[in-house]
Amino acid sequence: MSGKILVTGGAGYIGSHTCILLIEAGYEVIVFDNFSNSSIESIKRVEKIVGSSIVVIEGDIRNRDDLRGVFENHKIDAVIHFAGLKAVGESVEQPLRYYDNNISGTVALCEVMSEYSCKSIVFSSSATVYGDPHTTPIKEDFSVSATNPYGRSKLFIEEILRDLYVSDNSWKVVLLRYFNPVGAYKSGDIGEDPKDIPNNLMPFIAQTAVGKREFLNVFGDDYNTHDGTGVRDYIHVMDLADGHVKAINKIKSFNDVMTINLGAGKGYSVLDVLKAYEMASGKEIPYKIAPRRDGDIASCYADPSYAREILGWEAKRDINQMCIDSWRWQSKNPDGYKS
């Protein structure tokens, strides 16, 4: 495969992993990031892994001139749009910052793409758009809703991209709804590097296993699930990255808006993940049962059959592999990229 792919947010967790597979698949990658939640170190490590250098442009997707500079200098074939803020709690406290960054940023990006007749975009949406699903597994045609500004920003952006397609059907739009991305590249040189106390389960467990946190709070043990703790669909970040490469391969041959779940299709509880992580790390991970977290649902996992049908994609790595790879990254880099 060949072509130039602009990866917004390419220095971040999912973006950096995706760059590896894009380059291995033969694409040229241009990373565009303002480093608000990442550092150049991730890209330096990706360069080492792939054995070639990557063009990195520091800029903000809200700044049209930053973006124009990229399109002036590079003939971009498609954009994978990861750039965005993603902390649910923070979005409740700072809604305008989230709407500005995520929504205004996407509008600016699409305007500049349009100016340069680049009309292929793969967007990072989230399973959060399903709200509290009436049943599981979740299919793409289930109803959508949001309970916080982060989730609403994803819903609005999906609608904006659909409207764009209606206005001009030479656009090609892929909306990828990720379930719970975890794990790391197999060498343990890149991984998830939360800036503050992790909100998400796997990085919190990883930091507890490495001794940075005293214990894990298990948010609720009275859900209607097999052991009472919340059930989610964890997907290895390299499987997710592979889904993006397959979406980019596919985007050339269609004109439409495709909405696709990227999940493994299996549900694991908080205690299942904890046990798998103990096995992977050989550490005992202390935990306490705590009250339910506001906004959490009992169970959420994907029906990934549409991704298989349309992209020929399916998740290959199981929960044990996710924990093994997360632990390799965490133990090699106890302080993330600062290590």
Distance, CA of 339 to CA of 330 (rounded, Å): 10
| 130 touches 138 (CB < 8 A) | yes
Among 30, 38, 276, 298, the residue binding ligand NAD under the rule CB under 6 A is 38
Supply the minimum distance, in Å, between the C-beta of residue 244 and ligand NAD.
Answer: 10
Segment 68 to 107, residues that bind ligand NAD, using CB under 6 A: 82-86, 101, 105
Residue 238 binding ligand NAD, by CB under 6 A: no
Among 295, 303, 314, 334, the residue binding ligand UD1 under the rule CB under 6 A is 295
| 310 touches 260 (CB < 8 A) | yes
| 25 touches 245 (CB < 8 A) | yes
Residue 307 binding ligand NAD, by CB under 6 A: no
For ligand UD1, which is the closer residue by CB, 215 or 254?
Answer: 215
- Classify strands 55-58 and 28-33 as parallel, antiparallel or unpaired: parallel
Element (H, E) at 189: none
Supply the minimum distance, in Å, between the C-beta of residue 203 and ligand NAD.
Answer: 10
Question: What single string gives the DSSP state of each residue in 147-181?
Answer: SSHHHHHHHHHHHHHHHHHHH-TT-EEEEEEE-EE
Structure tokens belonging to residue 8:
């917004």
**What one-letter code names the amino acid at 68?**
R
For ligand NAD, which is the closer residue by CB, 240 or 284?
Answer: 240
Among 7, 14, 121, 280, the residue binding ligand NAD under the rule CB under 6 A is 14
Question: What single string gives the DSSP state of each residue in 254-317?
Answer: --SEEEEEE--S--EEHHHHHHHHHHHH-----EEEEPPPTT--SEE-B-THHHHHHH------
Segment 199 to 228, residues that bind ligand UD1, using CB under 6 A: 199-201, 204, 216-219
Residues 20-59 as x/- pattern, contact with ligand UD1 by CB under 6 A: ----------------------------------------
Give the CB-nearest residue to ligand UD1.
230
Stretch that binds ligand NAD, among 59-67, 155-163, 241-249, 275-283 (CB under 6 A): 59-67
**What one-letter code names the amino acid at 144?**
V
**Burial zone of 197 (CB within 10 Å; 0-12 exposed, 13-18 middle, 19+ buried):** exposed
Provide the total of helices (H) and of strands (E) in the chain, helices listed first: 12, 14
Q: Pick the catalytic residue: 27, 98, 99, 150?
A: 150
121 contacts which partner out of ligand UD1, ligand NAD, none, CB within 5 to 8 A by kind?
Answer: none
For ligand NAD, which is the closer residue by CB, 44 or 283?
Answer: 44
Residue 62 binding ligand NAD, by CB under 6 A: yes
Could you confirm whether 116 is annotated as catalytic?
A: no
Known catalytic residues?
150
Residues that bind ligand NAD (CB under 6 A): 8-9, 11-15, 33-38, 60-62, 82-86, 101, 105, 124, 126, 178, 181
Residues that bind ligand UD1 (CB under 6 A): 86, 88, 126, 128, 150-151, 180, 199-201, 204, 216-219, 230, 232, 270, 293, 295-296
